């Protein structure tokens, strides 16, 4: 494979470094995937602890004659100047750059413009249907460890999972903090946009507007009307999202649609790597162990793409 250094959004205010991986073995025009990160600032390899899931996907899929485009996330490169933007939403954080990435690929004469796919991981998976609808125009959508629920619902579940793992003393303190956060989330949709932009909900910079804007564009609205192919993947030891609420949530919503394929992997975590502890409280420790995306996941993604 050949890794080519590229820039996504070169003419914009926020140019981003990326890598376009081109397979060695090519037969005519290439199918390609755009990789879209999960939440938080993230580099083009989607480095988490000592793991590099996007690098694994690039290496694995390129061996199957599929090109891959990955790039640094805007909040990683421009986080300092963006943190004071009270109107920051997933549009500026993620969606605009994923659409620019798809536009970039359509201009490459080696790429089959009818075979541009999106692989969204975690939050990126939640946003993938919206990215497609707002200009990505992909041939198919792959959701890895995503959710059909609102982002704040998932965060509250994660907090409650942590709460249940604490000792009695810490539980009392954490319970108050979680209750306060819950009441902030409950009020988000009662705020006007201007009020939401001036109301902090998490830390020093994350405002209610970020959650409100995303919540007003639920992925379910896009998924329900999609006729193009969708592949939904999750590990059954994922401690960020749940099998019952998220993977089964997608199934309940889309299970009768012939264009949607589901795959649940035994003993894989949120990074689609072997689970070590299986608990959200120990997730940082788990991600310190250097691992790789399970080969079966890469095979399933490549087989699905090449069948379309």
- Span 202-230, pLDDT tens digits: 888 889 999 999 999 999 999 999 999 99
Among 152-161, 176-185, 269-278, which stretch is predicted with the lowest mean pLDDT? Answer: 176-185
SS3 for 163?
A: helix
Angle between helices 208-215 and 168-187 (to 10 degrees): 60
The stretch 152-176 carries a mean pLDDT of: 75
Q: Do residues 233 and 143 lie in contact, with contact meaning Cβ atoms separated by under 8 Å?
A: yes
**Confidence band for 32, pLDDT divided at 50, 70 and 90:** very high
pLDDT at 163: 60
Instruction: Give domain limits for the chain.
Output: 2-148+218-306, 151-209
Among 77-86, 103-112, 129-138, which stretch is predicted with the lowest mean pLDDT? Answer: 77-86
Nearest to 66 by CA among 32, 21, 34: 32
pLDDT at 127: 98
- Span 225-261, pLDDT tens digits: 999 999 999 999 999 999 999 999 999 999 899 999 9
pLDDT at 177: 77
The catalytically annotated residue of 270, 275, 294, 302 is: 270
The catalytically annotated residue of 72, 108, 132, 238 is: 238
pLDDT tops 80 at residue 67 = yes
pLDDT at 13: 96
Superfamily of domain 2-148+218-306: Alpha/Beta hydrolase fold, catalytic domain (3.40.50.1820)
Nearest to 18 by CA among 52, 62, 69: 69
pLDDT at 167: 67
pLDDT tops 90 at residue 159 = no
- The DSSP code for 281 is G
**Residue 94: in which H helix or E strand, if any?**
none
The stretch 28-32 carries a mean pLDDT of: 95
The catalytically annotated residue of 39, 89, 102, 122 is: 122
- The DSSP code for 165 is H
Among 82-91, 152-161, 164-173, 294-303, which stretch is predicted with the lowest mean pLDDT? Answer: 164-173
CB atoms within 10 A of CB 162: 18
Q: Let me know if 270 is a catalytic residue.
A: yes
Q: Cα 90 from chain centroid?
A: 11
The stretch 133-138 carries a mean pLDDT of: 98
pTM of the model: 0.95
- Please tell me the distance from the alpha carbon of residue 193 to that of residue 188, in angstroms, as a whole number: 10
């Amino acid at each position: 494979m050949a890794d080519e250094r590229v820039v996504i959004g070169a003419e914009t205010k926020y140019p981003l470094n990326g890598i376009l991986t081109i397979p060695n073995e090519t037969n005519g025009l290439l199918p390609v995937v755009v990789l879209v990160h999960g939440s938080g600032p993230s580099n083009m390899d989607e480095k988490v602890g000592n793991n590099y899931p996007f690098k694994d996907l690039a290496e694995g899929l390129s061996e199957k004659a599929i090109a891959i485009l990955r790039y640094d996330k805007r909040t990683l490169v421009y986080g300092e100047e963006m943190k004071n933007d009270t109107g920051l939403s997933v549009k500026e954080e993620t969606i605009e750059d994923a659409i620019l990435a798809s536009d970039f690929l359509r201009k490459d004469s080696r790429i089959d413009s009818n075979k541009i796919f999106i692989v969204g991981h975690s939050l990126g998976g939640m946003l993938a249907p919206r990215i497609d609808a707002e200009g990505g125009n992909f041939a198919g959508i792959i959701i890895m460890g995503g959710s059909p629920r609102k982002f704040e619902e998932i965060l509250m579940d994660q907090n409650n999972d942590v709460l249940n793992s604490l000792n009695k003393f810490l539980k009392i303190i954490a319970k108050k903090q979680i209750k306060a956060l819950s009441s902030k989330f409950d009020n988000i949709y009662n705020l006007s946009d201007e009020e939401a932009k001036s109301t902090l909900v998490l830390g020093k910079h994350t405002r209610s507007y970020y959650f409100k804007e995303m919540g007003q564009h639920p992925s379910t609205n896009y998924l329900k009307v999609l006729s193009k192919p969708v592949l939904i993947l999750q590990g059954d030891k994922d401690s960020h999202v749940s099998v019952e609420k998220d993977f089964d949530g997608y199934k309940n919503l889309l299970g009768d649609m012939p264009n949607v394929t589901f795959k649940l992997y035994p003993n894989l975590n949120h990074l689609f790597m072997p689970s070590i502890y299986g608990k959200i409280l120990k997730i940082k420790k788990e991600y310190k162990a250097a691992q790789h995306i399970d080969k079966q996941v890469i095979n399933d993604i490549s087989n699905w793409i090449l069948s379309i």
